[in-house]
Structure 1
């Protein structure tokens, strides 16, 4: 089909081959990846920026911080059951339902109180688990269908689709923070037609655009026979606990948990204890924009070079080396300084951390798509269970422990995660060779 031999150009943009013996035009599943990426771009440009602002705009009795902790605890709990719901509903319906929680959360910020924020956070925890398991399932299904229909290498297509999606997703940090910076540049945090009132109204409009785009996704062919509507509680519990008895899942759990830890570190520790002392509150938006830009670029590049389990192993190892170098630097070499150097160092750390985050996002999702072909929903549910549990732990522990203690915890967690991951990939690679 690719007579010129350049098969790698086909995963994202496909040109019809008129010489094909098959008269039926294969479907370009990459279009669904574009729609999904833009939908998440609108939704999470709003939500990501709103999340970054919670500790500063909703300060009454710690309403913003506590709401985020409740949100991620709810996210953790419902992620346990998310695979069942997504498999029952189908990934497209799950994605559409998932947008409702983000809409409600942004709307509650227009009138923040314990009576609006706490229920909205609880509901968002449920819908976030649904939308993220749906996203991983839908994107993987689209990649597999695209590879099959166009006779492409499946691993390469999965990597390319994940690279595009996570590149768009990482860009939300840049766009959302720039919107916040523009609308709050005068320091006006009042409600009504200015300040945060206008900001969250704009965010609500972004959410609506993203929700509308979700409705244009194609319905994917997904299996439902494993979870009939009349399934017993025992059957459902078995489907939830069975993955924990599989060695591949147990070996990948430390990496899933660390991916949550390193994200929450940016939100809870990096901005508060590294960026703010050096650049002030006004510099947080700029630092997060640099982090997001590095994240987006690394996501695209990592996805582009992903084709097999070996490439995933190499890329994850590269991202791990970068982050452990940054952690060791913060523990033993970093100190607050004046002048241009003091302003540049936090931005450099943010860029390094963004590269690592882009690597982990693309490669973990590609890895799950490659290893768990029969139980895709369950694999992505495990990702969100351990990821959100780690995020919630950081939010609740951050006020109680110092930066040095958190950095040591991060180093230990990363070393454990990489060790288990390397054992997993070497074991799986060896097994696949023996089978051949």
Structure 2
């Protein structure tokens, strides 16, 4: 998932890649000369952090997956997500350092989560006047949330390593693995809950007309006005009562997450969580280094693939599963590109649950396998898998009996996404090992740009045009990747980049 969060979010949040470099920097610089917590308290705080993030992101990521279904008038949902992505880019560069310096990690996490709850609450009355500021607030809170989480989690791991005598790298990787393993369950739980609430089909539902089905899939263009007066109850916006129930459940879940942290999470007394410590108000050095990094040859070559990472996550959330637009004037019903169009809105959550489950399993499994067979085969397989699916989407016509295939396609797309999210992160860590802060800042900037473009395209372009954009960007990205591999091999004769040991780099996805 994922989302701009996600990213995946999915989105999950468009700033996903910052987590890896932040943990790396803290690992190198954290002050752990004194042990603050005993082992049991470290495990307790790790558990609380995991549980709180599951509660928060079960709500947030599920709501992201439904944005253009629930708030489709004039593209409010997808434009709101684009605004989130823009705010995340700005937030990543400017907000985390001064906020953590002022509040410390615990209260930075709590404050940032409150920004997320405000976004969820904005969906109770979703109009431009509420959703635009709510999206901005959430996007600005995203980077400090993940930066503070990484700081706190890594500090716990370093203290645990000092207590147990294990290597710091091993414990940091283990703690991050535990956290993101739990985090992935939030995507599945949130989508499952939303599907249960939206699963009440209207009693008078009729079969989807052939006229409407002909406009499902790649042939759908926002603004088409040649469908006539077609009706299908499964494509209607859910009743207001259902939306209130859904948003109420999400707000409650977010509030529970905040209460868990406020009540039970311990503040770190060591250096990373000490508020008031002098730090630069703006990450000027990181900002300058980020733009200098963009001019590097290898970075320029990797921009298309990084951009594709955001585009493909935006596509699975913004075009494959959700209602895009309400046809105006000639009909009062909505059509979708794939899932809602042929199956109804109640199946969106179930399909995304399948996507998230496969993504989570493959992210873990591929991370293990890459040590044995290298990274190049995974990049080749991922590109072949996504390219094949994109060709299928261009030629395939969904029908009312296509549900099983939709689950298969969603799962396969998640498998490819697992490759991009884990292996591109690892690739950046190896290629730019001497300048990782600026490199990962570039990663999150270009991936967030991909998210933003995907959400803007979602309301402006026909589905087949978006698929051609994906195919072109993927082809360009793989060309750049192959060139980077060749350059690295030339610079270090006798060593292939794809067999570089990267187990010491956190390569996790959320």
TM-score range, shorter chain: 0.7 to 0.9
Q: Which residue of 2 aligns with 1:163?
A: 177
| Alignment equivalent of 2:74, drawn from 61, 84, 87 | 61
Give TM-score scaled by structure 1 length: 0.76
Shift of residue 119 of structure 1? 1.0
1:404 aligns with 2:472: no
* Greater mean alpha carbon deviation, residues 238-247 or residues 261-270: 238-247
Q: Which residue of 1 aligns with 2:449?
A: 389
- Answer yes or no: is the 8 Å Cα contact 2:55–2:253 preserved in 1: yes
| Higher-helix-fraction structure | 1
* Greater mean alpha carbon deviation, residues 42-51 or residues 178-187: 178-187
Q: Which residue of 2 aligns with 1:324?
A: 383
Deviations along 1:94-126, one digit per CA (max 9) or x if unpaired, are 322210111101111112222211111111110
Within 5 Å, which residues of 2 pair with 1:269-418? 269-272=319-322, 273-302=337-366, 305=368, 311=371, 314=374, 317=376, 319-333=378-392, 335-336=395-396, 342-362=402-422, 381-398=441-458, 399-400=460-461, 402-412=465-475, 414-416=477-479, 418=481
Q: Which residue of 1 aligns with 2:39?
A: 27
* Greater mean alpha carbon deviation, residues 360-369 or residues 129-138: 360-369
- Answer yes or no: is the 8 Å Cα contact 2:36–2:270 preserved in 1: no
Taking the aligned partners of 2:475 and 2:87, their CA distance within structure 1 comes to 26
Give TM-score scaled by structure 2 length: 0.66
Deviations along 1:204-225, one digit per CA (max 9) or x if unpaired, are 0110122223341552744599
Shift of residue 379 of structure 1? 6.5
**Secondary structure in structure 2 of the residue aligned to 1:109:** helix
**Secondary structure in structure 2 of the residue aligned to 1:119:** helix
Taking the aligned partners of 2:101 and 2:434, their CA distance within structure 1 comes to 15
Shift of residue 290 of structure 1? 0.5
**Secondary structure in structure 1 of the residue aligned to 2:135:** helix
Q: Which residue of 2 aligns with 1:114?
A: 128
| Alignment equivalent of 1:263, drawn from 294, 306, 313 | 313
Deviations along 1:121-141, one digit per CA (max 9) or x if unpaired, are 111110012212333444444
Q: Which residue of 2 aligns with 1:88?
A: 101
Deviations along 1:383-414, one digit per CA (max 9) or x if unpaired, are 43332222111111233252431331342354
Shift of residue 287 of structure 1? 1.3
Taking the aligned partners of 2:171 and 2:301, their CA distance within structure 1 comes to 25
**Secondary structure in structure 2 of the residue aligned to 1:186:** coil
Shift of residue 190 of structure 1? 2.8
Deviations along 1:249-275, one digit per CA (max 9) or x if unpaired, are 777666554432332121123225343
State the number of aligned residues: 401
* Greater mean alpha carbon deviation, residues 402-411 or residues 252-261: 252-261
* Greater mean alpha carbon deviation, residues 39-48 or residues 320-329: 320-329
Uncovered stretches (5+) of structure 1, i.e. residues with no partner:
1-22
- Answer yes or no: is the 8 Å Cα contact 1:137–1:376 preserved in 2: no
Shift of residue 173 of structure 1? 2.4
Taking the aligned partners of 1:333 and 1:63, their CA distance within structure 2 comes to 29
Change (3 A) 1:339 1:71: closer
Change (3 A) 1:42 1:330: same
| Alignment equivalent of 1:127, drawn from 113, 135, 141 | 141
- Answer yes or no: is the 8 Å Cα contact 2:313–2:417 preserved in 1: yes
Taking the aligned partners of 2:349 and 2:281, their CA distance within structure 1 comes to 49
| Alignment equivalent of 2:56, drawn from 14, 33, 43 | 43
* Greater mean alpha carbon deviation, residues 144-153 or residues 100-109: 144-153
Taking the aligned partners of 2:362 and 2:126, their CA distance within structure 1 comes to 36
- Answer yes or no: is the 8 Å Cα contact 1:69–1:392 preserved in 2: yes
| Alignment equivalent of 1:190, drawn from 234, 239, 250 | 239
